[in-house]
A and B are shown apart, each in its own frame.
Chain A
């Protein structure tokens, strides 16, 4: 699907490689941010949570660097065909990874409040959906690194499992609130957290869609994004 032939102008290849490595680095950072936010949440580690919030700045910086570099490649090289698709995909994927980082930060910010609440419900479920989201980001970034349209498609399909899991977890947390109104504040925090993780899954899908387009020139047919919990009845 991809040409392995080098450009006649070798430094063009160097530019594309550098852009890819910037995006790859961002992806790795964002994934570890999500993992550490979940770890901090489950182990009530407020210090770790603060470090996660702090580290998000690095992702933001990298995104700006990658964006400027992509624009400079467009200006200097006038990329076409798969080169053009690759640069545009990198530009968009960078923005998506930055959003994933924001969600990680948002989760970390809730750790202190949750930790002091003493509420310890639903942690297995949160751990599970956290690991699903993290794995999906990892797969999406692997499809990017390997320019693998098949893996990209698998990521897009895999998001559905997170959506389903999110909806059942949402229902569980609503139940906790109904059972004991004391749980309202911490359970609401957790609802936001699992919503963030569900959104991270959507963003992993967005990355995969761009990888597929970049690699093949064809758009993945749009899968309806679930996980909006609009079909749930409220037990209140």
Chain B
């Protein structure tokens, strides 16, 4: 009897840990980045537990889940930002266009140009608006002369919806802009080096609703040109801007599916309880 109970519990635990991937994703994927059995440890503590996911290049993919669920930690694996944390250790395989990004021969600086990142708090360099954009293209040798660079700066700021607001004060400090403008400057800086993937870690959580709407509009504009992965605590934001949603809990990827299905008819109990506000 006791063994039966234990077996049942083990079985249940096993079922709980299975990631529920919706069919339409499993069959219709055009993966830009793939993660397979990725674990992340902070010292002894396992923060991400055997996560496998494909990120499609044509969509905005949202990572949602309660604080501490591992979604940001996992996101930071995609351009090896966790390398900068001494006690962090990543296991498993992550590929960008089929290439192992944790291969020792991988040039991390090059990787981070291909997989850009935008953070929760806008972090412009304490330099001019122009220099904020020009820095990346310069170190990657994307411009051969001043005219080229001017073109890149204008194009990046235009794509980030910021050009008209800053074109007359490109020499002003980036830190003098409003929070929302600073965040769009950071997005402009990320796209200036022509990345393939943009990772966004709660890019709107420090912004007011109007600045948030502008960022969301920008994400909408950029969709399709770059693969975008966004971590957000704002469920409505995930529902508004993403086409794919992945729900994380306790380091597991619980469910991954069409955003519409996740928010109208989630399959996993944990997803449902979380998005309807029944957690805990």
Contacts and interface: CB of A to CB of B under 8 A. Distances in A.
B280 A84 contact: no
Interface in A1-55: 3, 5-9, 12
Contacts of A218: 265
B38 interface: no
A3 B272 CA distance: 8
B263 A3 contact: no
A81 B272 contact: yes
A80 B278 contact: no
Nearest to A5: B278
B265 A8 contact: no
B6 interface: no
B65 to A, nearest CB: 15
Contacts of A85: 264-265
Contacts of A81: 263-266, 272, 275-276
Interface in B238-280: 239, 263-266, 269, 272-273, 275-280
A9 B265 CA distance: 21
Nearest to B261: A217
B278 to A, nearest CB: 4
B235 interface: yes
A80 B275 contact: yes
B236 interface: yes
A83 interface: yes
A78 B236 contact: yes
A81 B265 CA distance: 5
Contacts of A6: 278
Given A78-B236, A80-B263, A84-B264, A3 B269 contact: yes
A131 interface: no
Interface residues of A, number: 17
Nearest to A77: B277
A217 B278 contact: no
B265 A3 contact: no
B276 A80 contact: yes
B54 to A, nearest CB: 24
Interface in A70-121: 78-85
Nearest to B235: A80
Interface in B190-240: 235-236, 239
Contact of A83 (B236, B276, B279, B280): B276
Contacts of A12: 277
Nearest to B262: A81
Contact of A82 (B239, B276, B280): B276
B264 A8 contact: no
A7 B269 CA distance: 14
Contacts of A217: 264-265
Most chain A Cβ neighbours within 10 Å, of B265, B272, B275, B278: B278
B280 A8 contact: yes
A78 B263 CA distance: 11
Given A78-B236, A80-B235, A81-B263, A8 B279 contact: yes
A7 B278 contact: yes
Contacts of A9: 277
Contacts of B278: 3, 5-8
Nearest to B239: A80
Contacts of A3: 269, 272-273, 276, 278
A82 B264 CA distance: 7
Nearest to B278: A5
Given A5-B278, A78-B236, 4 more contacts: A3-B269, A8-B280, A81-B263, A81-B264
Give the top 9 A-B pairs by smallest Cβ distance, nearest first: A217-B265, A5-B278, A80-B275, A7-B277, A83-B276, A81-B276, A80-B263, A81-B272, A8-B277
Interface of A: 3, 5-9, 12, 78-85, 217-218
Interface of B: 235-236, 239, 263-266, 269, 272-273, 275-280
24 contacts: A3-B272, A3-B278, A5-B273, A5-B278, A6-B278, A7-B276, A7-B278, A8-B278, A8-B279, A12-B277, A78-B235, A80-B239, A80-B263, A80-B276, A81-B264, A81-B266, A81-B276, A82-B272, A82-B276, A83-B276, A84-B263, A85-B264, A85-B265, A217-B264
